[in-house]
Amino acid sequence: MNAPAAIRIESLGKRFGPTAPLVLDDINLTIEAGQFVCLLGASGCGKSTLLDIIAGLERPTTGTVTVDSGNAAVMFQESALFPWLTASHNVELALKLRGVPRQRRRGDALELLDLVNLADAAHKRPHELSGGMRQRVALARSLAQDRKVLLMDEPFAALDAITRDLLHDELERVWRETGRTIVFVTHNVREAARLGQRVLLMSSRPGRIVNEWHIDDRADRRIESTDVARLGDEITTQLRQEIRRNAA
- pLDDT at position 13 is 94
CATH superfamily, with its number, for domain 5-72+149-247: P-loop containing nucleotide triphosphate hydrolases (3.40.50.300)
- pLDDT at position 26 is 93
Query: In a structure prediction context, what are the per-residue pLDDT tens digits for the chain, which is 248 residues long?
Result: 567 899 999 999 999 988 888 899 999 999 999 999 999 988 888 899 999 999 999 999 999 999 987 789 999 888 889 999 999 999 999 999 989 999 999 999 999 999 999 999 999 999 999 999 999 999 999 999 989 999 999 999 888 888 888 899 899 999 999 999 999 999 889 999 999 999 999 988 889 999 999 887 766 677 778 888 888 898 889 888 888 877 65
String of DSSP letters for 98-153? HT--HHHHHHHHHHHHHHTT-GGGTT--GGGS-HHHHHHHHHHHHHHT--SEEEEE
pTM for the complete prediction? 0.91
Domain extent listing, the chain: 5-72+149-247, 83-146
